Structure 1
Amino acid sequence: MTAGSPPRVLIDATSVPADRGGVGRYVDGLLGALGKVCGTSVDLVVVSLRTDLERYTRMLPGAEIIPAPAAVAHRPARLAWEQTGLPLLAQQVGAQVLHSPFYTCPLRAGCPVTVTVHDATFFTEPEHYDKSRRTFFRSAIRTSLRRADRVIVPSKATRDELIRLLDADPTRIDVAYHGVDHVAFHAPSAEEKARVRARLGLGSQSYVAFLGAKEPRKNVPNLIRGWARAVADRHQPPALVVAGGQGHDDEIDRAVAEVPSHLRLLRPGYLRYADLPGFLGGALVSAYPSYGEGFGLPILEAMACAAPVLTTPRLSLPEVGGEAVAYTSEAPDQIAADLAALLDDEHRRLALAQAGFDRAKEFTWQSSADVHLAAWSRARS
């Protein structure tokens, strides 16, 4: 490679989950944007699970796509391969930079390494993680901050928390906001909304939407309690639809048991990707009262679907929502009050829907890719 040639970058996509959750949305969005500049701004190599080979081959015609060993579909094997097989692969393909997109990275890669640290909530909100997960990710973050040549984070809030809590070197951290796929997430048509309502069996009943992992940090139990208090005395109370299937929170079942029998709460699990615009954009309110996020992709996706959003002002969420979303606290009484106020104010809901839709246009995967490219150039130099 000559000095002026694009860097040869190996991206490890083996951590992408089959459900295309948060890290999947990030890697897919980033690679889709890089595909447009592959060969000019970056010489790209991607190693992926065998189940993703066709997807990435189609998405990245100018890149080299390599299948990882079948065993890395299991997390312990993947982590072991990351330390031994991935550095060997980097050497074989002549990588000048290795990018690890999910917290962990090889300790001895043989070339400069960049790693994405998605959030600092393992330190700021430790009570919302079980001990083994908290211990693992805290260790991984500390190691990556120490060993990686550059660290990429999705928000200024995450950068600032890493500096404040772990004394991270600010000169080696790059902030790359996530984008949103504006084709996949769009203001839905009446037909798209009707299709989702039919699939959910809602008929003509209105609803409040939640879409996300069922993790304690997402605060679903207090959302359920707040919604129940906000709508219990209404003549035609809107349902609450809690969609998404990843994670587990025992407190959710306890909150569900408290819901009055005349109210309707649906838990459909995963929704089809094609149904998400109709689901989010068809809701009276998309509620996401999280205790804290590294970025807040669920609220950005809801905004892109022209849904009025109710969330909390914790960590990065105001960076994403700005003045285009409504804010509440994590407590059920305050969620109830703020949700009720939104349900009673159609004019404000319509204004928030438009403001969120307009603001979402500012977040693109191409902008995120540009920051990654700059970080890789710095790591290479």
Structure 2
Amino acid sequence: MSQRSDTERYARLLPRAEVIAAPAAVNHRPTRLAWEQTGLPLLAQQVKAQVLHAPFYTCPLRAPCPVTVTVHDATFFTEPEHYDKSRRTFFRSAIKTSMRRASRVIVPSKATRDELIRLLDADPTKIDVAYHGVDTQAFYPPSDDEKARVRARLGLGETQYIAFLGAKEPRKNVPNLIRGWVAAVSDRVDPPVLVIAGGSGHDDDIDRAAAEVPGHLRMLRPGYLRYADLPGYLGGAVIAAYPSHGEGFGLPILEAMACGAPVLTTPRLSLPEVGGDAVAYTGEESDVIGTDLASLLDDAPRRARLSEAGQSRAKEFTWASSAEVHVAAWSRAAGL
């Protein structure tokens, strides 16, 4: 089952599979949730599905076959202050229901599994850990020309820059990254630019932090970048910074590692599972971020070591391995 906009793409990727489009109305969340409870179980019955997989926290309460569900993180419980009340309440309830109803639960990290067990008394025997992978055709060490193209598009010239790529939501800790960057580079002769790239979000504190940036420093907020430019953007950064309050996996740091960027992140939840010894760690407060960012900027040999180690570690995370875990979970759910 897919949305109509995805049908052609999935049919091309899976030529032997029958791809069925959901109604166009599922683009709207209330309709999607209603269809998930009514239309999706009916569709599963019509196609004689052996397993029904729900990929985003929620699942049908009644289905004609075993149900598996992906719970991407437990931050609605561990970091509640970073979500508005309605979203937090909805996803907490959805996760609890899915943990009870699903035959198998798939999570992207051991940290997420452990949090669900600790917080919800979840049955550890029904949880499968499927790490995300990195697409090495999309994320790779870029050529000098690729780096130069991105720098030209961003108007950076030869100035070094620190890269952030992700959603602008409170959990990503972008305001403290901005304040930490200001503390780290204000007194430098050629201060690196801070580039905050990615989609819009709902963190009003970002605007407040941006308003505090001294006039002699430069911060860019280009929004979404072209997908083809991401290797040049990440791999061309002097540091890729991602001081998140917590992640279910941490795909942005894995993709930055694959592009050869020295990564600075936090040791929160799953991030050490992904980064291991191949990234630098910092705290969540702006002053700590500033100190650690300055230290890494001043240590070119360490950045080079992190770049090499990150590329090597990123190769350990493959989508093929993730797919194997999913298939095994579906087989167990179906009793095969």
Name the TM tier (shorter chain): over 0.9
Aligned to 2:273: 319
State the alpha-carbon separation in 2 of the partners of residues 57 and 191 from structure 1: 34
Residue 113 of structure 2 is aligned to residue 192 of structure 1: no
Residue 219 of structure 2 is aligned to residue 265 of structure 1: yes
Percent sequence identity over aligned pairs: 80
Deviations 1:114-172 (A, max 9, x none): 00000000000000000011001101100000000000000000000000000000000
How do residues 295-306 of structure 1 correspond to structure 2 at under 5 angstroms?
A: 295-306=249-260
Aligned to 1:181: 135
Aligned to 1:233: 187
SS where residue 310 of structure 1 aligns? strand
State the alpha-carbon separation in 2 of the partners of residues 238 and 152 from structure 1: 40
Of 48, 53, 61, the residue aligned with 2:7 is 53
Q: Which amino acid aligns with 2:284?
A: E
Aligned to 1:283: 237
Tell me how many residue pairs correspond in the alignment.
335
How do residues 1-381 of structure 1 correspond to structure 2 at under 5 angstroms?
A: 47-381=1-335
Q: Which amino acid aligns with 1:145?
A: M
Instruction: Quote how far apart the aligned CAs of 1:246 are.
Output: 3.7
Deviations 1:91-135 (A, max 9, x none): 111100011110001000110000000000000000000001100
Instruction: Quote how far apart the aligned CAs of 1:62 are.
Output: 1.6
Deviations 1:240-289 (A, max 9, x none): 00000142200000100111000000000000110100000000000000
State the alpha-carbon separation in 1 of the partners of residues 317 and 27 from structure 2: 31
Q: Which runs of 4+ in 1 moved over 6 A?
A: none
Deviations 1:182-210 (A, max 9, x none): 11000000011011011111111110000
State the alpha-carbon separation in 2 of the partners of residues 264 and 87 from structure 1: 52
Provide TM-score, normalisation by structure 2.
0.99
- Structure 1 spans left out of the alignment, 5+ residues: 1-46
Q: Which amino acid aligns with 1:280?
A: L
State the alpha-carbon separation in 2 of the partners of residues 81 and 112 from structure 1: 18
Provide TM-score, normalisation by structure 1.
0.87
Please, what is the CA RMSD of the aligned residues? Answer: 0.6
